[in-house]
Amino acid sequence: MNSKISVFQFYSILLLTRLLITLTYTPAYTKDITASDMIFQTVLRLVFGIIITVPVFWLNKKYGIERRDKKSTFNKIKAIIFSAVFFYFSVTTVSRLDLFAGTVVFPETDVKFLLLLVVAFCAYGAYLGIEPIARSAVLFIIPVLMSLAFICLMLVKKVDLLNLTPLFYNGALPVFKTALNAVGRTVEYAVIAVSFPFVTGNSKKGFFIWMAVQTLLTAVIFFFEGTILGAFSRMQLFPVYTIASIAQCLFFRGLGTLITGMWILCAFLKISLLIFLQSKLISEAFGVKKTVVTVTVAVLLSAVCLFVSGSVARFNFLDTSYIKFVLIILSVPVLAIAELIGERAKKCVKQ
């Protein structure tokens, strides 16, 4: 089944999945960085994001999408690397959802059942294919963005600009580190690298619009977080949830529930997309049935997440920024550059 989706649908999925990272970010990854630096680093991560995806778009422009035998050795290695990356990010996404649910939503409850349920339905979503995932993203994007805008509107009165800080107060290094860390947490770059075969339309244009919109959204969220919570945000596990719970509307004492809803929707899409991509890559490269790969991935994912769920130390180890950064750099620019070199060498040999 070679189903295709439009650029708008594709980047709608990516906008929601990237939004999930912002909504669930934890200040522990952003040590020594102050409120204004947090806002500024969104611009830096935009630049870094564009830089690391240049080889991917260049490769696609120069050699096209259907340039090689899908069952070639290189493609098999590529499929394994990308699948490993997507599996790793699926595990961290499910585990983060588990941490959130276990800490904030149901603090007194064992959420393992919820975790298994989410993985099972994400696997089902992945089994249905990319088109339903894309349609769901387009359906979800309006309520998610409207909820976000509503929360921001309810928070405007609580903004205190004195909570802003001088830029680079602790030096430029923490800001660069945070921006690079954010790039490492953006699995969407790897998704873009393998998405060209099933996305129709001007992907480059869509990419720039997506980058601009997600940077703007992230900057707005960090602005509200920094100016409302100030130093308190550094002490929160999920500061974006905290600002939402501060927002009040009529008789609702806090809008944290809206964030929870957005989070679950975005997580559902992200995990479904990542499982779908793993099954697609592996089945195309090795000729295995998609259903078999999907079920295997879901079972493995559940097992690993259940293991991680038992201890926050395991989660912290798994969620290390350096591992994510290395994986993204390896799968996005390094692999694309290697392929570019390979294609060029092949061309030279032919000539």
Partner 1 sequence: MRKAVIILISLLCVGTMLNRNAFKEDISNKAVVQGVGIDINDDGTYSVTLEIINTENYSNADGTAKPVMNLHTLKGKTVSSAIKSAYMIDGKIPLLSQNRVIIIGKELTEKGIMPSLDFFIRDAENYPTVQIAAVEGKAEDFFKNASSETTVVSRNIEKILITSDEDTKVSSITLSELVNRFKSSGSSFYMPIISTFKEKDKQEVMSNGTAVFKDGKLVCDLNEEETSALNFLCNKARKGAVNFRFDDVPASISIIKSKVTRKVDFSSENPNFSVKIKLDADLAEMDCDTARNPSESDIKAMGKYAEEKIKYDIEALCNKLYSEKKVDAVGLSRLIYIYYPDKYREKEKNLSEIMTDSQYSVEVEICIRRIGQDYSS
With respect to partner 1, which residue has the nearer C-beta, 6 or 248?
A: 248
Site string for partner 1, 135-154 (x = CB under 8 A): xx------------------
Q: Binder to partner 1 among 88, 124, 208, 286 (CB under 8 A)?
A: 124
> Residue 89 and residue 78: Cα distance in Å, rounded?
17
How near is the Cβ of 73 to partner 1 at its closest, in Å? 35
How near is the Cβ of 225 to partner 1 at its closest, in Å? 11
Structure tokens at 200: 């129709």
Binding to partner 1, residues 155-214 (CB under 8 A):
162-166, 169
Structure tokens at 73: 């050795």
Structure tokens at 109: 């409850």
Q: Binder to partner 1 among 43, 65, 117, 172 (CB under 8 A)?
A: 117
Upper half-sphere CA count for residue 125 (Cβ side, 13 Å): 24
How near is the Cβ of 146 to partner 1 at its closest, in Å? 18
With respect to partner 1, which residue has the nearer C-beta, 277 or 335?
A: 277
Site string for partner 1, 272-311 (x = CB under 8 A): ----------------------------------------
Crossing angle of helices 203-229 and 239-246, in 10° steps, is 60
Q: Binder to partner 1 among 3, 72, 109, 311 (CB under 8 A)?
A: 109
Choose one: 56-64, 71-79, 180-188, 232-240; the region binding partner 1 (CB under 8 A).
232-240
List alpha helices for 64-196, DSSP H: 73-100, 112-128, 130-155, 173-184, 188-195
**Cβ neighbour number for residue 334 with a 10 Å cutoff:** 15
Residue 315 gets the label, from left (phi > 0), alpha (psi -120 to 50) or beta, of: alpha
Angle at 151 between CA 236 and CA 225, to 5 degrees: 35
With respect to partner 1, which residue has the nearer C-beta, 84 or 116?
A: 116
Beta bridge partners of 200: 6
Show Cβ contacts of residue 22 under 8 Å, excluding neighbours closer than 6 positions. Answer: 217, 218, 221, 222, 240
Choose one: 53-61, 114-122, 203-211, 321-329; the region binding partner 1 (CB under 8 A).
114-122
Show Cβ contacts of residue 305 under 8 Å, excluding neighbours closer than 6 positions. Answer: 91, 94, 95, 98, 115, 119
Choose one: 129-137, 196-204, 216-224, 305-313; the region binding partner 1 (CB under 8 A).
129-137
> Residue 305 and residue 95: Cα distance in Å, rounded?
6
How near is the Cβ of 283 to partner 1 at its closest, in Å? 20
Asked if 106 is part of the footprint of partner 1 (rule: CB under 8 A), the reply reads yes
What's the one-letter identity of residue 212? A
Binding to partner 1, residues 22-61 (CB under 8 A):
none
Upper half-sphere CA count for residue 77 (Cβ side, 13 Å): 9
Q: Binder to partner 1 among 88, 121, 176, 325 (CB under 8 A)?
A: 121
How near is the Cβ of 19 to partner 1 at its closest, in Å? 18
Size of the site for partner 1 (CB under 8 A): 38
> Residue 42 and residue 220: Cα distance in Å, rounded?
10
Asked if 65 is part of the footprint of partner 1 (rule: CB under 8 A), the reply reads no
Asked if 230 is part of the footprint of partner 1 (rule: CB under 8 A), the reply reads yes
Q: Which of 298, 12, 272, 290 is nearest to 130 (CA)?
A: 272
**Cβ neighbour number for residue 345 with a 10 Å cutoff:** 10
How near is the Cβ of 313 to partner 1 at its closest, in Å? 17
Asked if 253 is part of the footprint of partner 1 (rule: CB under 8 A), the reply reads yes
Which residues are at the interface with partner 1 (CB under 8 A)? Answer: 103-104, 106-110, 113-114, 117-118, 121, 124-125, 128, 132-133, 135-136, 162-166, 169, 229-232, 234-235, 242, 245-246, 248, 253-254, 268
